[in-house]
Structure formats: C-alpha cells, structure tokens
C-alpha cells in the first residue's frame, strides 16, 4: 500500500492539484479501500460481525457502545463540519471492523507464517528507498510545481511529509530491533540488513519520535524478558545503529526539517517539541468547552489554530477527547488498554511474534507524539498487530485446552 500510495500521489509540494485528489491523500482513502477489500475477503470466507460480537467480554461491548455514542453524537450534533466528521467517524468504524476481519483471518493461520511479514516489509522498504532516491535526484523543473518551488519535506513518495515517512520506517525498525535482540537466529543476516536500512531511513528523516519509540520498545522488551540480550546481539545492534546514523548524516539533505536535532530546539519546551506543547495546550482547553461529547471527529483541524491548522493534535488521548469527548474517549481508551493487556503475554512470549509486538508498541508510543491513530496506514498496522496477536493468544488457549483434555 505505501508503494501504491507513492505511485498515486507524486507530490513535490504541500498539496496536490486538484483539491479532491489532495483530500483523498490527506484522508489516506486508498488504505481505507484496502481495509474494505480485506473485510470483503473475510466475509467471503465466512466472517460474521455477530459471531465476533458474541465472543467479546461484557466490558469490551460497553466500551464499543460508548465509543459509538461519542463519535456519532459529536459528529452529527456538535461538529461545525458535519460532512467531514461523519466521514471520519465512518472510517473509524471501518478500522474496527477491519480489525475484527483480520482477527478472523489470522485465526486460520499458523504463527510460523508470520515470519514472512517483516520480510515483505523489508522488501517494501527497499522499494521505498529506490523511489525516494529517484524522486530526490530527478525532480521536475520547479516551474512545473504548484507554487513554483519544490518543498522537499513534503516530497517523500506516498507520504504527507518527512515525519510521516520516518514514523513508518521507525516502526519497522523497532520490530526488526526486537527480532535481533530477542528473536530467532534464522535468516539473521537478512534481518540485519533490513534493520540497517530502516534505522538509516528513520535517522535520515530526522523523526525524533520514532527514535524515542525504538528506545521505549527496547525497554519494554527488556522488562518483559527479564534478561539482557546476549553480548553478540547488543554489539550487532550498536554497530548497525551507529552505521545507520553515520549514513543518514552523510546523505541527509542540508535542510532543517531533516535534522534530528537543531541548536534552536533548546530555546524553549515548545521548540524542543516542535510546537506540540502549545498545540496540546490549546487542544485541551478547546475540549473543555465541550467536555462530554467533544467537537466531532477530526475537529482539531477547524477548532484549534496556533497560527496554522493541524489535522490532528499529535497526541492520541487529546485526539479522542476533542473528537468524541469523555464519552467516546473513555470507550476508545478502554479498548486500547484492554487490547494491550491481552496481547502482551503472547506478543513477548513467542519469539516469532515479538517483532510484530515491537512494531505495534512503537506505533502506540508514537501516537502520544504523532498521528498514528489518525492516519489509516498506521491504524491498519496497529489493527493488524492487535488482531494477529489476539488470534495467536486464542490459538494458545485452544492448544492448552486440547492438551488438558488429552491428559
């Protein structure tokens, strides 16, 4: 899907022309269409919403009802941009149904099949690297670009901006890091090469949130495993990370948007967070004006302005609150928390699943600093992580029950 997005949206400026094409790019509608296609595949194989609903614990059902009430009420009766809010609310429901469909499909797969998942992600990174190199080395004449000037931070193939790009590569790097630290030894050489590429691209993009997320995932893995990785793995990770950083610095464009750190960042807390503290402050106080149901899905864009508008507040908790109020946010955050608790033992207990758990945790951590729970491509990855790990957890439970019966 990222490769398809790169082909569909050959952007060298903040936005595309015509306006409807830019709207589909910002909403990442091709990814939503992909979710709908996978839901259709699941239905063709016997998926039913009712069967999934009957499996859910009571508290999860209550959380889903609260989320449904929050996003419906806020978008229909409160929002100042009802069409946009309703569209985003429908997409949110599609994400949830996609997760259920993926869970249904993953139940039929063996965990061993998941080893190819990161192989394909790595192959995709190679293709993205080639597309990025071609785009940066063979740009069109600036006179052919809307506005008459190329905006390089927005010129990443298929991504809205360079931070968007770095968040994707950083999540993959986090999963590969876990594979090298606590994973299987099989095909370790390939994993090392993909880790080097993913980490290099992340550093090249200057996405500090992704680097922080990799560190957080390492801490989670260490705490979960309760043992240090072996010395060889630590040496390999340190060496590959240093090499990735060196290559990123060597090849990085001489533009502040691509820098991991600037001296000006030390001027204030707002500068260190690239303006996030002010955005968080204004978003929080705008939510207080409508605390119960918020201002409608996606309302950060038209309700909060700190000199320019943001599509989302770069924090999942604030995003839920301003979009759906306390009612919807309570349901959404409960679902996230319960899912994390449910997948953790399986995700960190099976060496084949640890990379997927690491990638999922990375995206969830970044959602506190970026828009991982706003953009469909990242939501898809998170939902896949939850669905596959929950399916593996259920398979473990079924195997345990069969073993007990045999005994």
| β-bridge mates for residue 305, sequence order | 309
Q: Is the pLDDT of residue 187 over 80?
A: no
Give 51-55 contacts, CB < 8 A, sequence gap 24+: 52/100, 52/103, 52/104
List pLDDT tens digits, range 368-385.
999 999 999 999 999 999
Q: Report the pLDDT value the prediction gives residue 398, as an integer from 0 to 100.
A: 62
Calculate the average pLDDT of the chain: 90
Report the pLDDT averaged over residues 57-65: 96
> What pLDDT digit, counting tens, does each position of 126-155 carry?
999 999 999 888 888 887 777 778 888 888
> Region 345-351: what's the mean pLDDT?
91
- State the pLDDT at residue 79: 96
pLDDT band, residue 186 (cuts 50/70/90): low
**Average pLDDT estimate for 300-329:** 93
> Model confidence at 12, in pLDDT bands (50, 70, 90)?
confident
Could you tell me the pLDDT band of residue 69, with boundaries at 50, 70 and 90?
A: very high
Residue 257 is given by DSSP the state G
Residue 29 is classified by DSSP as: H
| Structure letter (DSSP) for residue 100 | H
- Of 123, 127, 136, whose CA–CA distance to 204 is shortest? 136
Distance CA 58, CA 150 (A): 53
- Are 171 and 377 in contact, with CB atoms under 8 Å apart? no
In the structure encoding, which two tokens stand for residue 362, read together? 């990375």
Tell me what pLDDT residue 402 has.
47
Tell me which residue of 304, 306, 322, 319 sits closest to 378, measured CA to CA.
319
Peptide bond into 18 cis (omega under 30): yes
Question: What is the spatial distance between Cα 363 and Cα 365, in angstroms, rounded to a whole number?
Answer: 5
* Cα–Cα distance, 270 to 278 (Å, whole number): 7
Ramachandran category for residue 296: left, alpha or beta (phi over 0 → left; psi -120 to 50 → alpha): left
Please report the pLDDT score of residue 268 as a whole number.
Answer: 63
What are the beta bridge partners of residue 309?
305
What's the distance, CA 217 to chain centroid? 14
For residue 11, what are the CA distances in angstroms to 15, 75, 146, 258, 365?
Answer: 7, 31, 10, 17, 28
Q: Where residue 252 falls among pLDDT bands split at 50, 70, 90? A: confident
Could you report the per-residue pLDDT of 276-294, keeping only the tens digit for each?
899 999 999 999 999 999 9
Query: Which SS3 state, helix, strand or coil, does residue 309 take?
Result: strand
**Distance between CA 168 and CA 182 in Å, rounded?**
22
Is the pLDDT at 274 greater than 80? The verdict is: no
Highest averaged pLDDT of the listed ranges 157-161, 268-272, 307-311: 157-161
Look at residue 11 in the predicted model and tell me its pLDDT.
Answer: 81
Lowest-pLDDT range of 59-63, 188-192, 235-239: 188-192
Q: Which of 103-112, 190-199, 209-218 has the lowest mean pLDDT?
A: 103-112
Rounded to 5 degrees, φ, ψ at 279 are -60, -45
CA distances from 144 to 11, 56, 140, 161, 238 (A): 12, 54, 7, 20, 44
For residue 175, pLDDT beyond 90: yes
How much is the pLDDT for 308? 80
Residues 222, 119: contact at Cβ < 8 Å?
no
Task: Provide the terminal-to-terminal Cα distance of the chain, rounded to the nearest Å.
Answer: 47
Least confident of 68-72, 154-158, 315-319, 336-340: 154-158
Instruction: Centre a 10 Å sphere on the Cβ of residue 267 and count the other Cβ atoms it contains.
Output: 10
């Amino acid at each position: 899907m990222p490769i398809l997005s790169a082909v569909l949206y050959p952007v060298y400026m903040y936005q595309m022309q015509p306006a409807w094409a830019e709207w589909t790019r910002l909403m990442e509608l091709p990814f939503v269409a992909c979710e709908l296609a996978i839901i259709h595949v699941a239905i063709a194989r016997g998926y039913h919403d009712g069967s999934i609903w009957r499996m859910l614990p009571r508290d999860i059902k209550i959380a889903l009802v609260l989320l449904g009430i929050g996003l419906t009420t806020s978008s229909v009766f409160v929002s100042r941009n009802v069409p946009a809010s309703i569209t985003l609310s429908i997409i949110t429901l599609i994400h949830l149904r996609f997760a259920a469909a993926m869970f249904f499909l993953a139940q039929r797969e063996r965990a061993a099949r998941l080893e190819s998942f990161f192989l394909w992600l790595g192959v995709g990174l190679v293709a993205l690297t080639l597309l990025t190199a071609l785009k940066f080395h063979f740009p069109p004449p600036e006179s052919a670009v809307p506005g008459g000037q190329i905006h390089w931070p927005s010129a990443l193939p298929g991504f809205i901006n360079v931070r968007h790009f770095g968040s994707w590569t950083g999540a993959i790097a986090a999963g590969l890091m876990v594979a090298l630290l606590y994973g299987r030894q099989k095909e370790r050489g390939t994993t090392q090469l993909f880790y080097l590429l993913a980490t290099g691209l992340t550093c090249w993009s200057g996405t500090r949130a992704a680097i922080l997320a990799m560190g957080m995932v390492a801490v989670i893995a260490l705490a979960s495993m309760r043992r240090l990785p072996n010395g060889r793995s630590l040496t390999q990770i340190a060496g590959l990370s240093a090499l990735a950083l060196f290559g990123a610095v060597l090849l990085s464009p001489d533009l502040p948007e691509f820098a991991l750190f600037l001296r000006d960042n030390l001027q204030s807390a707002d500068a260190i967070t690239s303006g996030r503290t002010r955005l968080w402050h204004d978003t929080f106080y705008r939510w207080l004006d409508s605390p119960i149901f918020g201002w409608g899905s996606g309302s950060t864009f038209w309700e909060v302005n700190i000199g320019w508008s943001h599509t989302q507040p770069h924090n999942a908790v604030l995003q839920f609150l301003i979009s759906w109020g306390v009612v919807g946010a309570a349901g959404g955050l409960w679902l996230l928390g319960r899912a994390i608790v449910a997948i953790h033992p399986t995700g960190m207990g099976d060496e084949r699943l640890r990379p997927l758990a690491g990638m999922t945790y990375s995206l969830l951590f970044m959602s506190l600093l970026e828009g991982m729970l706003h953009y469909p491509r990242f939501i898809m990855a998170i939902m896949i992580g939850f669905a596959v790990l929950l399916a593996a957890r259920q398979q473990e439970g079924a195997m345990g029950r069969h073993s007990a019966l045999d005994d």
